[in-house]
A and B are shown apart, each in its own frame.
Chain A
Amino acid sequence: MIQALTIPVLVLGTTGFLLAAVVVALDAIVASRIPSDDLVSAVDDLLPQTQCAQCGYPGCRPYANAVVNGESTALCVPGGEETHQALTKLLDRPEDNATLAEPLELTARIQEEECVGCGLCLDACPVDAIIGAPQFLHTILESHCTGCELCVSPCPVSCIELVEPS
């Protein structure tokens, strides 16, 4: 009677224990390697790369990182509803109720007669789309401008405005 019980229990227990040991050992090996961050890259690829920081993070990659770690997917203003839905689809998350406004495609333009050449906007531009030297007139490379508005507020003479791309 005892034997009839112990053998099955022993067999099952040993099998389970050995297999569990294999899994745990593999876990230890996997944990010691740095996981690749292709999920962050996949999220980053869906973002519009304006680097506008309107989501509260300093650029698109940091926001992608935050989204993967649980941040809301509805913070990207230039991406709008399209990006929001693409993100929820990728991550298989429920959609946030916030409906985002249709994004505007704008580029910044410097009103050249008012620019004093202070160079503050050069530092603000996240994509190096503004060229110019100190004390000289600056201008914006329209093809490289992402319309992020980061250069508007640093300007001391408010000579930068956002316009429809020509």
Chain B
Amino acid sequence: MTDLFVLFVGAALVSNFVLVQLLGLCPFMGTSNRMETAVPMGIATICVITISTVVSNALNQFVLVPLDLEFLRIITFIVVIAAVVQLVERYVRFASPLLHQLLGLYLPLITSNCAVLGVALSVADLPLANALAVGVGAGVGFCLVLVLFAGLRVNLNHSSVPQAFQGAPIALITVGLIALAFAGFRGIF
């Protein structure tokens, strides 16, 4: 149990996939403009990462490894992720068409979120329970930094930024500063 918790915290904070491993920056920058999109996007990503990690881990352990087909990992995992994203997309469109409209292209683009594939690949050889802990942790970590950053960007919209830094540059600088702050979590373990 302690192991799982350590894995969870490690994936969420210490080696956060966005800020420490620098994966999945595209949806991170794209959907953090507004709080209304950041929160649902974060939750959607939690679902996708958790489900796809577990499914691909099981697939790896029970199909690919016994058949000695580990070279098929990347392409199989991508198929899994694409299917899970489609499921989530269907669900969002069904539950809230407004949210579907707000998220737009970024929802199907979770497929190409490299954090999702990154998590699935990095835990492919772990036992299922550990993979689940890392998957949930990575999702929660992504959601956390996305919401934090969206909160900062809402404030950035109101502040007087020098012209050369307006838009993406100041946002990237802010990401860098949050990443520095997250480096502090390395002291936990």
Contacts and interface: CB of A to CB of B under 8 A. Distances in A.
Check whether chain A touches chain B (CB < 8 angstroms). Answer: yes
20 contacts: A11-B64, A12-B72, A15-B63, A15-B79, A16-B79, A19-B79, A19-B82, A22-B83, A22-B87, A23-B87, A30-B93, A33-B94, A36-B96, A37-B97, A38-B97, A38-B98, A90-B101, A91-B101, A92-B101, A92-B102
Given A22-B83, A36-B96, A92-B104, 16 more contacts: A7-B67, A8-B72, A11-B63, A11-B69, A11-B76, A12-B75, A15-B80, A19-B80, A19-B83, A23-B86, A26-B87, A26-B90, A26-B91, A30-B93, A38-B96, A91-B101
Contacts of A92: 101-102, 104
Contacts of B101: 39, 90-92
Interface in A11-55: 11-12, 15-16, 19-20, 22-23, 26-27, 30, 33, 35-39, 42
Contacts of B69: 7-8, 11
Contacts of B87: 22-23, 26
A11 B94 contact: no
Interface of A: 7-8, 11-12, 15-16, 19-20, 22-23, 26-27, 30, 33, 35-39, 42, 90-92
Given A11-B69, A15-B59, A20 B83 contact: yes
Contacts of A15: 59, 63, 76, 79-80
Nearest to A10: B67
Interface pairs A-B: 5 shortest CB-CB: A19-B83, A39-B97, A39-B98, A30-B94, A23-B86
Q: Which of B64, B69, B79 counts the most chain A CB atoms within 10 A?
A: B79
A12 B98 contact: no
Interface of B: 59, 63-64, 67, 69, 72, 75-76, 79-80, 82-83, 86-87, 90-91, 93-98, 101-102, 104
Contacts of B97: 35-39
A102 B44 CA distance: 41
Contacts of A90: 101-102
Nearest to B101: A39
A12 B75 CA distance: 8
A25 to B, nearest CB: 10
B1 to A, nearest CB: 32
A12 B90 contact: no
Contacts of A7: 67, 69
Given A12-B79, A15-B59, A15-B80, A23 B90 contact: yes
A12 B56 CA distance: 12
Contacts of B91: 26, 30
B83 A12 contact: no
